[in-house]
Amino acid sequence: MDTPASAPKSARRMVREELTRRIADTARAHLARSGPSGLSLRAVARELGMASSAVYRYFPSRDALLTTLIMDAYNSLGEECEAAEAGVDRSDLARRHLTIARSTRNWALAHPHEYALIYGTPVPGYQAPPDTVDPATRVTRLLLGLIADAEASGCHPPVDPRISASTTRDMEDLMERVGTRISPGYLFVSLGLWAQLFGLISFELFGQFNNVVEARDDFFDDQARHMARLVGITEGD
């Protein structure tokens, strides 16, 4: 029988996938209200009108449900960033960077609990399965692509990094996927930029900027622009 992996859908498989999706959606809604620790499998089942034990036919454990939400979150963030960056003139490096930074922050502000799920404290017993590593690197790959283009077009950090450590060993394959190579020094600076971007967002989201920074939008834009200049990307390029 012709059952290609993409569309077998034996009628029962379809309703199963549908219900699986509905459970995940309901769980995501609960997550947005009560946070990860407040996510109750029973409450999800209750809202869907099914017995709590029935949910276990679809997700073997609460952690499995969380894994799905984590993957979805990574993909949601990745898609939004990719879509936004795709609409920018690829030679306008400054704009591309600002777009990625803004998209990430906007997504985080719109989905704080999902952001916390992927960039906050890891859930206690949870161990990320290998499937998550690919979606997790989507925005990272976007940044890497930008950095590679920047270096290719002659950008270089205004402050020499002077690195002594081999920082990029396991990053080779990531660069290979992006299709470019980046010099160690430039990559080193980019990792700092990466950490700073998510440090800023986490600080804002997790309350560290409360009573410290007030004009958050403008502040972030300024910081983003400054960060770009730290990797040699200047405006009006």
Binding interface with DNA (CB under 7 A)? 10-12, 16, 19, 39-43, 49-54, 56-58, 60-63
User: Vertex 61, ends 57 and 65: CA angle to 5°?
Assistant: 90
Distance CA 149, CA 91 (A): 8
Closest approach, Cβ 121 to DNA, in A, equals 18
Residue 13, Cβ density class (10 Å: 0-12 exposed, 13-18 middle, ≥19 buried):
exposed
In the complex with DNA, which residue's Cβ is closer, 61 or 183?
61
Closest approach, Cβ 69 to DNA, in A, equals 13
In the complex with a copy of itself, which residue's Cβ is closer, 55 or 136?
136
Contacts to a copy of itself by CB under 8 A: 34-38, 116, 119-124, 128, 133, 158-159, 161-171, 174, 188-189, 191-192, 194-200, 202-203, 206-208, 211-215, 218-219, 221-223, 225-227, 229-230
Contact present, 159 and 226 (Cβ < 8 Å): no
Closest approach, Cβ 110 to DNA, in A, equals 25
| DSSP code for 50 | S
Based on C-alpha coordinates, what's the Rg of the chain?
A: 21
Task: Outline where the chain has alpha helix (H).
Answer: 12-34, 41-47, 52-55, 62-86, 93-110, 112-119, 133-136, 138-152, 172-178, 184-205, 216-230
Angle between helices 184-205 and 93-110 (to 10 degrees): 30
| DSSP code for 123 | P
In the complex with a copy of itself, which residue's Cβ is closer, 50 or 109?
109
Closest approach, Cβ 15 to a copy of itself, in A, equals 34
Instruction: Tell me which of a copy of itself, DNA, none is bound by residue 211, counting a contact when its beta carbon lies within the kind-specific cut-off of 5 to 8 angstroms.
Output: a copy of itself
In the complex with a copy of itself, which residue's Cβ is closer, 71 or 197?
197
In the complex with DNA, which residue's Cβ is closer, 41 or 224?
41
Distance CA 111, CA 119 (A): 12
Instruction: Tell me which of DNA, a copy of itself, none is bound by residue 41, counting a contact when its beta carbon lies within the kind-specific cut-off of 5 to 8 angstroms.
Output: DNA
Closest approach, Cβ 138 to DNA, in A, equals 28
Closest approach, Cβ 45 to a copy of itself, in A, equals 20
Distance CA 143, CA 93 (A): 11
In the complex with DNA, which residue's Cβ is closer, 36 or 232?
36
